[in-house]
Structure 1
Amino acid sequence: MTSTTFLRPWQALTSAATATAALLVAFVLAPAALASTRATTALGSESNLIATFRTAFVSYWHTGNADFGAELRPVVDYWFRYHVAKALLAAALLAVLIALGVLSWQAFLRTSGLRAAALAASGVLSTALAVVSLAAVMANIHGMAAPFGSLLPMLFGKPNASAGPLPDTLAQIRQHLADGQNSPALDVIRSDYVKFHAVMAIEGTLVVLVLVLLSVLLWRGFTRTDRSERRPRRLLAAYGVFTPLLALTLAVIVFANATTAAHPLPGLESFFAGGW
Protein backbone atom coordinates (compact mmCIF):
# COMPACT_ATOMS: atom_id res chain seq x y z
CA MET A 1 0.00 0.00 0.00
CA THR A 2 1.47 3.35 -1.02
CA SER A 3 1.45 6.36 1.29
CA THR A 4 -0.98 8.09 -1.07
CA THR A 5 -3.43 5.18 -0.85
CA PHE A 6 -3.06 5.15 2.94
CA LEU A 7 -3.82 8.86 3.23
CA ARG A 8 -6.99 8.86 1.17
CA PRO A 9 -9.31 7.41 3.87
CA TRP A 10 -7.89 9.85 6.43
CA GLN A 11 -8.37 12.76 4.07
CA ALA A 12 -12.00 11.69 3.57
CA LEU A 13 -12.45 11.42 7.34
CA THR A 14 -10.94 14.86 7.85
CA SER A 15 -13.19 16.35 5.18
CA ALA A 16 -16.28 14.74 6.69
CA ALA A 17 -15.34 15.93 10.19
CA THR A 18 -14.76 19.47 8.92
CA ALA A 19 -18.11 19.47 7.12
CA THR A 20 -19.79 18.19 10.29
CA ALA A 21 -18.33 21.01 12.37
CA ALA A 22 -19.33 23.62 9.77
CA LEU A 23 -22.89 22.29 9.53
CA LEU A 24 -23.27 22.17 13.32
CA VAL A 25 -22.36 25.85 13.51
CA ALA A 26 -24.67 26.67 10.60
CA PHE A 27 -27.54 24.72 12.17
CA VAL A 28 -27.30 26.82 15.31
CA LEU A 29 -26.56 30.25 13.80
CA ALA A 30 -27.88 30.37 10.23
CA PRO A 31 -31.66 29.59 10.31
CA ALA A 32 -32.74 32.89 11.85
CA ALA A 33 -30.78 34.87 9.26
CA LEU A 34 -32.00 32.68 6.40
CA ALA A 35 -35.63 33.00 7.51
CA SER A 36 -35.58 36.75 8.08
CA THR A 37 -36.84 39.42 5.74
CA ARG A 38 -36.63 43.18 6.20
CA ALA A 39 -39.98 43.09 7.96
CA THR A 40 -39.09 40.20 10.28
CA THR A 41 -35.44 40.83 11.15
CA ALA A 42 -36.31 41.45 14.81
CA LEU A 43 -37.81 37.96 15.08
CA GLY A 44 -34.30 36.51 14.96
CA SER A 45 -34.12 37.33 18.66
CA GLU A 46 -35.90 34.67 20.71
CA SER A 47 -37.25 37.18 23.21
CA ASN A 48 -38.61 39.38 20.40
CA LEU A 49 -40.14 36.36 18.68
CA ILE A 50 -41.93 35.25 21.85
CA ALA A 51 -43.16 38.74 22.69
CA THR A 52 -44.32 39.43 19.13
CA PHE A 53 -46.09 36.09 18.82
CA ARG A 54 -47.88 36.48 22.16
CA THR A 55 -49.13 39.96 21.26
CA ALA A 56 -50.21 38.84 17.79
CA PHE A 57 -51.90 35.72 19.17
CA VAL A 58 -54.00 37.72 21.61
CA SER A 59 -55.14 40.01 18.79
CA TYR A 60 -55.84 37.02 16.55
CA TRP A 61 -57.99 35.32 19.17
CA HIS A 62 -60.05 38.40 19.87
CA THR A 63 -60.76 39.07 16.19
CA GLY A 64 -62.45 35.67 16.08
CA ASN A 65 -61.43 35.14 12.44
CA ALA A 66 -59.70 32.13 10.94
CA ASP A 67 -57.35 34.32 8.89
CA PHE A 68 -54.11 35.12 10.71
CA GLY A 69 -54.25 38.75 9.68
CA ALA A 70 -51.50 41.32 9.19
CA GLU A 71 -50.08 40.97 12.70
CA LEU A 72 -49.81 37.20 13.09
CA ARG A 73 -49.18 36.19 9.46
CA PRO A 74 -45.56 37.50 9.29
CA VAL A 75 -44.68 35.59 12.46
CA VAL A 76 -46.14 32.32 11.16
CA ASP A 77 -44.44 32.78 7.76
CA TYR A 78 -41.12 33.53 9.44
CA TRP A 79 -41.45 30.40 11.59
CA PHE A 80 -42.21 28.31 8.51
CA ARG A 81 -39.06 29.57 6.76
CA TYR A 82 -37.07 29.01 9.95
CA HIS A 83 -38.11 25.35 10.05
CA VAL A 84 -37.35 24.92 6.34
CA ALA A 85 -33.80 26.19 6.93
CA LYS A 86 -33.40 24.02 10.02
CA ALA A 87 -34.71 20.92 8.25
CA LEU A 88 -32.39 21.35 5.25
CA LEU A 89 -29.34 21.94 7.44
CA ALA A 90 -30.23 19.02 9.71
CA ALA A 91 -30.70 16.75 6.67
CA ALA A 92 -27.31 17.78 5.29
CA LEU A 93 -25.75 17.21 8.71
CA LEU A 94 -27.38 13.79 8.94
CA ALA A 95 -25.98 12.78 5.54
CA VAL A 96 -22.46 13.93 6.47
CA LEU A 97 -22.62 12.18 9.85
CA ILE A 98 -23.68 8.91 8.21
CA ALA A 99 -20.73 9.24 5.82
CA LEU A 100 -18.40 10.06 8.71
CA GLY A 101 -19.64 7.05 10.68
CA VAL A 102 -19.22 4.68 7.74
CA LEU A 103 -15.72 5.99 7.01
CA SER A 104 -14.77 5.73 10.69
CA TRP A 105 -15.90 2.13 11.04
CA GLN A 106 -14.36 1.10 7.72
CA ALA A 107 -11.02 2.53 8.83
CA PHE A 108 -11.47 0.96 12.29
CA LEU A 109 -11.72 -2.50 10.73
CA ARG A 110 -8.42 -1.96 8.89
CA THR A 111 -6.31 -0.77 11.80
CA SER A 112 -5.53 -1.46 15.47
CA GLY A 113 -4.15 0.09 18.64
CA LEU A 114 -4.76 3.69 19.66
CA ARG A 115 -5.76 4.63 16.13
CA ALA A 116 -8.50 1.99 16.20
CA ALA A 117 -9.73 3.31 19.56
CA ALA A 118 -9.90 6.85 18.15
CA LEU A 119 -11.79 5.61 15.11
CA ALA A 120 -14.22 3.66 17.30
CA ALA A 121 -14.87 6.82 19.34
CA SER A 122 -15.46 8.70 16.09
CA GLY A 123 -17.90 6.03 14.92
CA VAL A 124 -19.85 6.06 18.19
CA LEU A 125 -19.96 9.87 18.33
CA SER A 126 -21.07 10.06 14.69
CA THR A 127 -23.87 7.59 15.40
CA ALA A 128 -25.07 9.53 18.45
CA LEU A 129 -25.03 12.84 16.56
CA ALA A 130 -26.77 11.20 13.59
CA VAL A 131 -29.64 10.13 15.88
CA VAL A 132 -29.91 13.70 17.19
CA SER A 133 -29.81 15.04 13.63
CA LEU A 134 -32.54 12.62 12.57
CA ALA A 135 -34.68 13.87 15.45
CA ALA A 136 -33.98 17.45 14.34
CA VAL A 137 -35.00 16.67 10.75
CA MET A 138 -38.26 15.11 11.92
CA ALA A 139 -39.04 17.91 14.39
CA ASN A 140 -38.50 20.57 11.76
CA ILE A 141 -40.57 18.74 9.14
CA HIS A 142 -43.64 18.76 11.34
CA GLY A 143 -42.73 22.31 12.33
CA MET A 144 -42.85 23.20 8.62
CA ALA A 145 -46.18 21.40 8.20
CA ALA A 146 -47.78 23.20 11.14
CA PRO A 147 -45.79 26.38 11.89
CA PHE A 148 -48.64 27.96 13.83
CA GLY A 149 -49.02 24.83 15.94
CA SER A 150 -45.30 24.74 16.66
CA LEU A 151 -45.43 28.38 17.80
CA LEU A 152 -48.11 27.69 20.41
CA PRO A 153 -45.68 26.44 23.12
CA MET A 154 -44.25 29.97 23.17
CA LEU A 155 -47.44 31.05 24.92
CA PHE A 156 -46.09 29.33 28.01
CA GLY A 157 -42.79 29.20 29.82
CA LYS A 158 -40.36 32.05 30.23
CA PRO A 159 -40.80 34.92 30.30
CA ASN A 160 -43.94 34.27 32.35
CA ALA A 161 -46.92 36.31 31.22
CA SER A 162 -48.78 36.66 34.52
CA ALA A 163 -49.98 40.16 33.65
CA GLY A 164 -51.52 41.69 30.55
CA PRO A 165 -54.11 40.21 28.19
CA LEU A 166 -52.46 36.81 27.55
CA PRO A 167 -53.63 35.04 30.75
CA ASP A 168 -57.23 36.13 30.11
CA THR A 169 -57.00 34.95 26.51
CA LEU A 170 -55.70 31.53 27.57
CA ALA A 171 -58.47 31.31 30.17
CA GLN A 172 -61.06 32.00 27.46
CA ILE A 173 -59.59 29.24 25.27
CA ARG A 174 -59.69 26.78 28.17
CA GLN A 175 -63.31 27.71 28.80
CA HIS A 176 -64.22 27.25 25.13
CA LEU A 177 -62.60 23.80 25.13
CA ALA A 178 -64.31 22.78 28.37
CA ASP A 179 -67.73 23.95 27.12
CA GLY A 180 -67.32 22.45 23.66
CA GLN A 181 -67.66 25.86 22.02
CA ASN A 182 -66.33 26.45 18.52
CA SER A 183 -64.97 29.52 16.78
CA PRO A 184 -62.99 30.05 13.57
CA ALA A 185 -59.83 30.83 15.54
CA LEU A 186 -60.22 27.78 17.78
CA ASP A 187 -60.83 25.60 14.73
CA VAL A 188 -57.48 26.75 13.28
CA ILE A 189 -55.73 26.09 16.59
CA ARG A 190 -57.22 22.61 16.74
CA SER A 191 -56.43 21.92 13.09
CA ASP A 192 -52.76 22.87 13.39
CA TYR A 193 -52.46 20.96 16.65
CA VAL A 194 -53.79 17.83 14.94
CA LYS A 195 -51.62 18.37 11.86
CA PHE A 196 -48.52 18.82 14.03
CA HIS A 197 -49.01 15.43 15.68
CA ALA A 198 -50.30 13.64 12.57
CA VAL A 199 -47.23 14.59 10.51
CA MET A 200 -45.01 13.37 13.33
CA ALA A 201 -46.85 10.06 13.36
CA ILE A 202 -46.56 9.65 9.57
CA GLU A 203 -42.89 10.55 9.26
CA GLY A 204 -42.09 8.51 12.37
CA THR A 205 -43.77 5.46 10.84
CA LEU A 206 -41.66 5.81 7.69
CA VAL A 207 -38.47 6.06 9.72
CA VAL A 208 -39.45 3.02 11.81
CA LEU A 209 -39.92 1.00 8.60
CA VAL A 210 -36.48 2.08 7.36
CA LEU A 211 -34.92 1.14 10.70
CA VAL A 212 -36.60 -2.28 10.66
CA LEU A 213 -35.27 -2.90 7.14
CA LEU A 214 -31.81 -1.77 8.24
CA SER A 215 -31.97 -4.15 11.20
CA VAL A 216 -32.75 -7.06 8.88
CA LEU A 217 -29.83 -6.15 6.62
CA LEU A 218 -27.45 -5.85 9.58
CA TRP A 219 -28.36 -9.27 10.97
CA ARG A 220 -28.21 -10.80 7.51
CA GLY A 221 -24.72 -9.36 7.16
CA PHE A 222 -23.84 -10.76 10.60
CA THR A 223 -24.93 -14.29 9.71
CA ARG A 224 -23.09 -14.16 6.37
CA THR A 225 -19.81 -12.92 7.87
CA ASP A 226 -17.29 -15.64 8.62
CA ARG A 227 -16.89 -16.43 12.33
CA SER A 228 -13.18 -15.74 12.09
CA GLU A 229 -14.01 -12.08 11.29
CA ARG A 230 -14.67 -11.16 14.89
CA ARG A 231 -14.48 -7.38 14.69
CA PRO A 232 -16.88 -7.05 11.74
CA ARG A 233 -19.31 -9.46 13.42
CA ARG A 234 -19.20 -7.54 16.69
CA LEU A 235 -19.78 -4.28 14.89
CA LEU A 236 -22.73 -5.68 12.92
CA ALA A 237 -24.19 -7.21 16.08
CA ALA A 238 -23.86 -3.95 18.02
CA TYR A 239 -25.73 -1.99 15.35
CA GLY A 240 -28.10 -4.92 14.92
CA VAL A 241 -29.16 -4.47 18.55
CA PHE A 242 -29.08 -0.67 18.60
CA THR A 243 -31.19 -0.15 15.47
CA PRO A 244 -34.31 -2.11 16.57
CA LEU A 245 -34.12 -0.48 20.00
CA LEU A 246 -34.15 2.90 18.29
CA ALA A 247 -37.06 1.74 16.11
CA LEU A 248 -38.97 0.59 19.20
CA THR A 249 -38.43 3.92 20.97
CA LEU A 250 -39.63 5.79 17.91
CA ALA A 251 -42.63 3.48 17.55
CA VAL A 252 -43.75 4.50 21.06
CA ILE A 253 -43.49 8.17 20.05
CA VAL A 254 -45.42 7.45 16.85
CA PHE A 255 -48.20 5.76 18.82
CA ALA A 256 -48.45 8.70 21.23
CA ASN A 257 -48.64 11.24 18.40
CA ALA A 258 -51.15 9.18 16.41
CA THR A 259 -53.36 8.87 19.50
CA THR A 260 -53.17 12.61 20.11
CA ALA A 261 -54.02 13.38 16.48
CA ALA A 262 -57.01 11.03 16.58
CA HIS A 263 -58.30 12.38 19.90
CA PRO A 264 -56.99 15.95 20.20
CA LEU A 265 -59.34 17.38 22.84
CA PRO A 266 -57.65 15.90 25.96
CA GLY A 267 -54.25 16.96 24.66
CA LEU A 268 -55.44 20.46 23.82
CA GLU A 269 -57.06 20.88 27.24
CA SER A 270 -53.87 19.73 28.93
CA PHE A 271 -51.77 21.96 26.68
CA PHE A 272 -53.72 25.14 27.42
CA ALA A 273 -53.68 24.23 31.11
CA GLY A 274 -49.90 24.61 30.84
CA GLY A 275 -49.18 20.91 30.38
CA TRP A 276 -46.96 21.19 27.30
Structure 2
Amino acid sequence: MSSNALGPSSSLRARVLVALVVVLVPGVYFGPHLLADDGSQSGFSDQRALVGAVEEGFVRYWAAGSGDYSSGMGGVVEYWFRFHVAKALIALALLGVLVALGVVVWRAFLRSEGVRRGGLAVAGVCVTGVGLLSLVVAAANVQGAVAPFTSALTMLPVGARGGELGGTLEQVRAQLAADPDGASPSPSPALAEMISDNARYHVSMVVIAGVVAVGLAVVSVVLWRRFAGAGDRRARRLLGAFGGIGTVLVMAVLVVGVANVTVAADSARGLTEFFGV
Protein backbone atom coordinates (compact mmCIF):
# COMPACT_ATOMS: atom_id res chain seq x y z
CA MET A 1 0.00 0.00 0.00
CA SER A 2 1.46 3.36 -0.92
CA SER A 3 0.93 6.79 0.50
CA ASN A 4 -1.22 7.54 -2.57
CA ALA A 5 -3.79 5.07 -1.30
CA LEU A 6 -3.34 5.56 2.43
CA GLY A 7 -2.68 8.73 4.37
CA PRO A 8 0.00 8.72 7.09
CA SER A 9 -2.45 7.96 9.90
CA SER A 10 -4.25 5.26 7.89
CA SER A 11 -0.93 3.71 6.88
CA LEU A 12 0.19 3.50 10.51
CA ARG A 13 -3.18 2.08 11.53
CA ALA A 14 -2.96 -0.54 8.78
CA ARG A 15 0.53 -1.60 9.90
CA VAL A 16 -0.60 -1.96 13.51
CA LEU A 17 -3.66 -3.96 12.48
CA VAL A 18 -1.63 -6.23 10.20
CA ALA A 19 0.80 -6.87 13.07
CA LEU A 20 -2.11 -7.83 15.31
CA VAL A 21 -3.46 -10.19 12.64
CA VAL A 22 -0.03 -11.83 12.35
CA VAL A 23 -0.11 -12.48 16.10
CA LEU A 24 -3.77 -13.49 16.41
CA VAL A 25 -4.05 -15.88 13.44
CA PRO A 26 -1.59 -18.44 14.88
CA GLY A 27 -2.95 -17.54 18.31
CA VAL A 28 -6.33 -18.98 17.35
CA TYR A 29 -4.67 -22.34 16.75
CA PHE A 30 -1.96 -22.47 19.43
CA GLY A 31 -3.34 -20.16 22.12
CA PRO A 32 -6.37 -22.13 23.38
CA HIS A 33 -4.36 -25.21 24.41
CA LEU A 34 -1.83 -23.06 26.27
CA LEU A 35 -4.50 -21.00 28.03
CA ALA A 36 -6.69 -24.02 28.86
CA ASP A 37 -3.90 -26.03 30.47
CA ASP A 38 -3.95 -25.51 34.24
CA GLY A 39 -1.22 -28.08 34.84
CA SER A 40 -3.59 -30.89 35.82
CA GLN A 41 -4.25 -32.17 32.29
CA SER A 42 -0.77 -33.01 31.11
CA GLY A 43 -0.67 -33.92 27.44
CA PHE A 44 -4.11 -32.63 26.44
CA SER A 45 -2.46 -30.30 23.92
CA ASP A 46 -1.74 -33.48 21.94
CA GLN A 47 -4.86 -34.39 19.96
CA ARG A 48 -4.37 -38.14 20.29
CA ALA A 49 -3.93 -37.86 24.05
CA LEU A 50 -7.07 -35.74 24.30
CA VAL A 51 -9.13 -38.21 22.25
CA GLY A 52 -7.78 -41.04 24.38
CA ALA A 53 -8.82 -39.18 27.53
CA VAL A 54 -12.31 -38.66 26.10
CA GLU A 55 -12.61 -42.38 25.32
CA GLU A 56 -11.42 -43.46 28.77
CA GLY A 57 -13.49 -40.81 30.54
CA PHE A 58 -16.66 -41.74 28.67
CA VAL A 59 -16.26 -45.41 29.57
CA ARG A 60 -15.96 -44.42 33.25
CA TYR A 61 -18.87 -41.98 32.98
CA TRP A 62 -21.18 -44.60 31.50
CA ALA A 63 -20.08 -47.31 33.93
CA ALA A 64 -20.81 -45.03 36.90
CA GLY A 65 -24.33 -44.54 35.55
CA SER A 66 -25.09 -41.60 37.82
CA GLY A 67 -25.03 -38.83 35.25
CA ASP A 68 -22.24 -37.10 37.16
CA TYR A 69 -18.97 -36.67 35.35
CA SER A 70 -16.35 -39.14 36.51
CA SER A 71 -12.97 -37.82 37.55
CA GLY A 72 -11.62 -38.63 34.09
CA MET A 73 -14.50 -37.14 32.10
CA GLY A 74 -14.76 -34.23 34.50
CA GLY A 75 -11.16 -33.26 33.81
CA VAL A 76 -11.73 -33.45 30.06
CA VAL A 77 -14.92 -31.38 30.25
CA GLU A 78 -13.26 -28.70 32.39
CA TYR A 79 -10.30 -28.52 30.03
CA TRP A 80 -12.54 -28.44 26.96
CA PHE A 81 -14.64 -25.62 28.47
CA ARG A 82 -11.53 -23.49 29.04
CA PHE A 83 -10.28 -24.35 25.56
CA HIS A 84 -13.51 -23.18 23.92
CA VAL A 85 -13.67 -19.98 25.97
CA ALA A 86 -10.08 -19.12 25.05
CA LYS A 87 -10.56 -19.90 21.37
CA ALA A 88 -13.82 -17.93 21.19
CA LEU A 89 -12.20 -14.87 22.78
CA ILE A 90 -9.15 -14.99 20.50
CA ALA A 91 -11.35 -15.48 17.43
CA LEU A 92 -13.55 -12.54 18.45
CA ALA A 93 -10.46 -10.38 18.96
CA LEU A 94 -9.22 -11.41 15.51
CA LEU A 95 -12.64 -10.64 14.03
CA GLY A 96 -12.60 -7.14 15.51
CA VAL A 97 -9.11 -6.46 14.16
CA LEU A 98 -10.05 -7.80 10.71
CA VAL A 99 -13.17 -5.63 10.57
CA ALA A 100 -11.06 -2.56 11.35
CA LEU A 101 -8.41 -3.60 8.82
CA GLY A 102 -11.07 -4.31 6.21
CA VAL A 103 -12.45 -0.78 6.57
CA VAL A 104 -8.96 0.67 6.03
CA VAL A 105 -8.23 -1.56 3.02
CA TRP A 106 -11.55 -1.04 1.24
CA ARG A 107 -11.46 2.72 1.77
CA ALA A 108 -7.98 2.75 0.26
CA PHE A 109 -9.29 0.64 -2.63
CA LEU A 110 -11.89 3.30 -3.42
CA ARG A 111 -9.15 5.95 -3.67
CA SER A 112 -6.58 3.92 -5.60
CA GLU A 113 -5.96 3.31 -9.29
CA GLY A 114 -4.17 0.85 -11.54
CA VAL A 115 -2.15 -2.07 -10.22
CA ARG A 116 -2.38 -0.76 -6.67
CA ARG A 117 -6.15 -0.99 -6.87
CA GLY A 118 -5.95 -4.66 -7.87
CA GLY A 119 -3.61 -5.43 -5.00
CA LEU A 120 -5.93 -3.73 -2.53
CA ALA A 121 -8.88 -5.67 -3.94
CA VAL A 122 -7.06 -8.97 -3.36
CA ALA A 123 -6.07 -7.86 0.14
CA GLY A 124 -9.64 -6.80 0.88
CA VAL A 125 -11.07 -10.12 -0.27
CA CYS A 126 -8.54 -12.02 1.87
CA VAL A 127 -9.29 -9.90 4.94
CA THR A 128 -13.04 -10.32 4.43
CA GLY A 129 -12.73 -14.08 3.95
CA VAL A 130 -10.59 -14.59 7.05
CA GLY A 131 -13.00 -12.34 8.97
CA LEU A 132 -15.95 -14.55 8.05
CA LEU A 133 -13.95 -17.64 9.04
CA SER A 134 -13.16 -15.99 12.39
CA LEU A 135 -16.87 -15.39 12.94
CA VAL A 136 -17.62 -19.07 12.30
CA VAL A 137 -14.82 -20.16 14.65
CA ALA A 138 -16.05 -17.80 17.38
CA ALA A 139 -19.65 -19.02 17.06
CA ALA A 140 -18.66 -22.69 17.13
CA ASN A 141 -16.51 -22.20 20.22
CA VAL A 142 -19.15 -20.24 22.11
CA GLN A 143 -21.42 -23.21 21.45
CA GLY A 144 -18.73 -25.59 22.70
CA ALA A 145 -18.22 -23.53 25.86
CA VAL A 146 -21.95 -23.67 26.65
CA ALA A 147 -22.04 -27.48 26.36
CA PRO A 148 -18.45 -28.78 26.60
CA PHE A 149 -19.58 -32.33 27.46
CA THR A 150 -21.42 -32.77 24.17
CA SER A 151 -18.62 -31.01 22.32
CA ALA A 152 -16.10 -33.45 23.79
CA LEU A 153 -18.28 -36.42 22.84
CA THR A 154 -17.95 -35.45 19.16
CA MET A 155 -14.35 -36.71 19.42
CA LEU A 156 -15.52 -40.25 20.27
CA PRO A 157 -14.81 -42.82 17.55
CA VAL A 158 -18.42 -44.02 17.59
CA GLY A 159 -17.66 -46.76 15.09
CA ALA A 160 -15.23 -48.49 17.47
CA ARG A 161 -15.78 -52.21 17.98
CA GLY A 162 -14.45 -54.36 20.81
CA GLY A 163 -12.71 -53.39 24.00
CA GLU A 164 -14.17 -51.33 26.83
CA LEU A 165 -15.13 -48.46 24.54
CA GLY A 166 -16.81 -50.74 22.01
CA GLY A 167 -18.81 -52.44 24.76
CA THR A 168 -19.85 -49.09 26.21
CA LEU A 169 -20.98 -47.81 22.82
CA GLU A 170 -23.05 -50.96 22.31
CA GLN A 171 -24.80 -50.32 25.64
CA VAL A 172 -25.51 -46.72 24.63
CA ARG A 173 -26.94 -47.87 21.31
CA ALA A 174 -29.08 -50.49 23.04
CA GLN A 175 -30.64 -47.89 25.34
CA LEU A 176 -31.20 -45.45 22.49
CA ALA A 177 -32.71 -48.19 20.33
CA ALA A 178 -35.11 -49.10 23.14
CA ASP A 179 -36.17 -45.47 23.52
CA PRO A 180 -35.11 -43.53 20.38
CA ASP A 181 -37.34 -40.55 21.16
CA GLY A 182 -36.28 -40.21 24.79
CA ALA A 183 -39.90 -40.63 25.84
CA SER A 184 -39.18 -43.01 28.69
CA PRO A 185 -40.12 -41.42 32.03
CA SER A 186 -37.03 -42.89 33.66
CA PRO A 187 -34.03 -43.11 31.29
CA SER A 188 -30.72 -43.95 32.89
CA PRO A 189 -29.19 -40.85 34.56
CA ALA A 190 -26.13 -41.12 32.31
CA LEU A 191 -28.23 -41.12 29.15
CA ALA A 192 -30.57 -38.44 30.49
CA GLU A 193 -27.61 -36.11 31.05
CA MET A 194 -26.36 -36.79 27.53
CA ILE A 195 -29.79 -35.97 26.08
CA SER A 196 -30.06 -32.82 28.17
CA ASP A 197 -26.58 -31.54 27.31
CA ASN A 198 -27.08 -32.31 23.62
CA ALA A 199 -30.24 -30.20 23.67
CA ARG A 200 -28.32 -27.40 25.41
CA TYR A 201 -25.61 -27.64 22.76
CA HIS A 202 -28.06 -27.07 19.93
CA VAL A 203 -30.19 -24.47 21.73
CA SER A 204 -27.03 -22.43 22.24
CA MET A 205 -26.43 -22.40 18.48
CA VAL A 206 -30.02 -21.27 17.92
CA VAL A 207 -29.34 -18.26 20.16
CA ILE A 208 -25.93 -17.63 18.57
CA ALA A 209 -27.41 -17.84 15.08
CA GLY A 210 -30.16 -15.42 16.06
CA VAL A 211 -27.69 -12.86 17.40
CA VAL A 212 -25.43 -13.19 14.36
CA ALA A 213 -28.38 -12.96 11.96
CA VAL A 214 -29.63 -9.77 13.61
CA GLY A 215 -26.15 -8.26 13.51
CA LEU A 216 -25.67 -9.14 9.85
CA ALA A 217 -29.14 -7.85 9.00
CA VAL A 218 -28.38 -4.48 10.61
CA VAL A 219 -25.08 -4.22 8.73
CA SER A 220 -26.81 -5.19 5.47
CA VAL A 221 -29.48 -2.52 5.91
CA VAL A 222 -26.81 0.13 6.56
CA LEU A 223 -24.87 -0.98 3.47
CA TRP A 224 -27.94 -0.94 1.23
CA ARG A 225 -28.88 2.54 2.45
CA ARG A 226 -25.39 3.79 1.69
CA PHE A 227 -25.57 2.06 -1.67
CA ALA A 228 -28.77 3.96 -2.49
CA GLY A 229 -27.19 7.28 -1.55
CA ALA A 230 -23.75 6.75 -3.11
CA GLY A 231 -22.91 8.76 -6.22
CA ASP A 232 -19.56 7.17 -7.05
CA ARG A 233 -19.88 4.11 -9.30
CA ARG A 234 -17.03 2.21 -7.65
CA ALA A 235 -18.43 2.86 -4.18
CA ARG A 236 -21.87 1.70 -5.31
CA ARG A 237 -20.46 -1.55 -6.67
CA LEU A 238 -18.54 -2.21 -3.46
CA LEU A 239 -21.47 -1.36 -1.19
CA GLY A 240 -23.85 -3.42 -3.34
CA ALA A 241 -21.50 -6.41 -3.26
CA PHE A 242 -21.19 -6.31 0.52
CA GLY A 243 -24.91 -5.69 0.92
CA GLY A 244 -25.64 -8.75 -1.21
CA ILE A 245 -23.13 -10.89 0.68
CA GLY A 246 -24.66 -9.77 3.97
CA THR A 247 -28.16 -10.66 2.81
CA VAL A 248 -27.06 -14.14 1.69
CA LEU A 249 -25.25 -14.68 4.99
CA VAL A 250 -28.35 -13.72 6.97
CA MET A 251 -30.34 -16.40 5.15
CA ALA A 252 -27.57 -18.99 5.61
CA VAL A 253 -27.33 -18.27 9.34
CA LEU A 254 -31.11 -18.55 9.69
CA VAL A 255 -30.99 -21.97 8.01
CA VAL A 256 -28.36 -23.05 10.56
CA GLY A 257 -30.57 -21.77 13.37
CA VAL A 258 -33.64 -23.62 12.12
CA ALA A 259 -31.64 -26.85 11.72
CA ASN A 260 -30.49 -26.59 15.33
CA VAL A 261 -34.04 -25.92 16.53
CA THR A 262 -35.06 -29.21 14.92
CA VAL A 263 -32.27 -31.17 16.63
CA ALA A 264 -32.79 -29.48 20.00
CA ALA A 265 -36.50 -30.32 19.91
CA ASP A 266 -35.65 -34.02 19.58
CA SER A 267 -32.28 -34.34 21.28
CA ALA A 268 -32.60 -38.09 21.83
CA ARG A 269 -33.16 -38.63 18.11
CA GLY A 270 -30.05 -36.56 17.40
CA LEU A 271 -27.99 -38.77 19.71
CA THR A 272 -29.49 -41.86 18.08
CA GLU A 273 -28.23 -40.67 14.70
CA PHE A 274 -24.83 -39.66 16.13
CA PHE A 275 -24.20 -43.08 17.67
CA GLY A 276 -25.44 -44.81 14.52
CA VAL A 277 -28.37 -46.70 16.00
Partner of residue 193 from structure 1, selected from 167, 183, 198? 198
- Does residue 118 (structure 1) correspond to residue 119 (structure 2)? The answer is yes
1:70 maps to what in 2? 71
SS of structure 2 residue aligned to 1:38: coil
2:210 maps to what in 1? 205
1:133 maps to what in 2? 134
1:239 maps to what in 2? 242
1:170 maps to what in 2? 169
Deviations 1:47-75 (A, max 9, x none): 00000110111011011012112221111
Deviations 1:117-176 (A, max 9, x none): 11111111111111100001100001000000001111127xx74331111111111111
2:268 maps to what in 1? 265
- Does residue 150 (structure 1) correspond to residue 155 (structure 2)? The answer is no
TM-score, scaled to structure 2:
0.93
What one-letter code is carried by the residue in structure 1 that aligns with 2:101?
A: L
Deviations 1:210-252 (A, max 9, x none): 11121111111111112xx111111100001110111111111
Moved more, 145-154 or 66-75: 66-75
2:102 maps to what in 1? 101
SS of structure 2 residue aligned to 1:41: coil
Q: Percent identity?
A: 38
Residue 11 of structure 1 and its aligned partner are, at CA, apart by 2.1
* C-alpha distance in structure 1 between counterparts of 2:166 and 2:191, whole Å: 16
What one-letter code is carried by the residue in structure 2 that aligns with 1:116?
A: R
SS of structure 1 residue aligned to 2:41: helix
* C-alpha distance in structure 2 between counterparts of 1:149 and 1:266, whole Å: 14
* C-alpha distance in structure 1 between counterparts of 2:260 and 2:244, whole Å: 25
Q: Answer 1 or 2: which has greater helix percent.
A: 1
* C-alpha distance in structure 2 between counterparts of 1:163 and 1:266, whole Å: 25
* C-alpha distance in structure 1 between counterparts of 2:46 and 2:71, whole Å: 20
CA RMSD of aligned residues (A): 1.6
2:51 maps to what in 1? 50
Question: Which stretches in structure 1 are left out of the alignment for 5+ residues?
Answer: none
* C-alpha distance in structure 2 between counterparts of 1:130 and 1:29, whole Å: 18
What one-letter code is carried by the residue in structure 1 that aligns with 2:161?
A: S
* C-alpha distance in structure 1 between counterparts of 2:136 and 2:198, whole Å: 19
Q: Do the aligned residues in 1 keep the contact of 2:81 with 2:145 (CA within 8 Å)?
A: yes
2:36 maps to what in 1? 35
* C-alpha distance in structure 1 between counterparts of 2:40 and 2:215, whole Å: 41
Moved beyond 6 Å, runs of 4+: none
TM-score, scaled to structure 1:
0.93
Residue 266 of structure 1 and its aligned partner are, at CA, apart by 2.1
Residue 206 of structure 1 and its aligned partner are, at CA, apart by 1.2
Question: Which stretches in structure 2 are left out of the alignment for 5+ residues?
Answer: none
* C-alpha distance in structure 2 between counterparts of 1:149 and 1:24, whole Å: 27
Deviations 1:169-209 (A, max 9, x none): 11111111121261111111111111111100111011111
1:220 maps to what in 2? 225
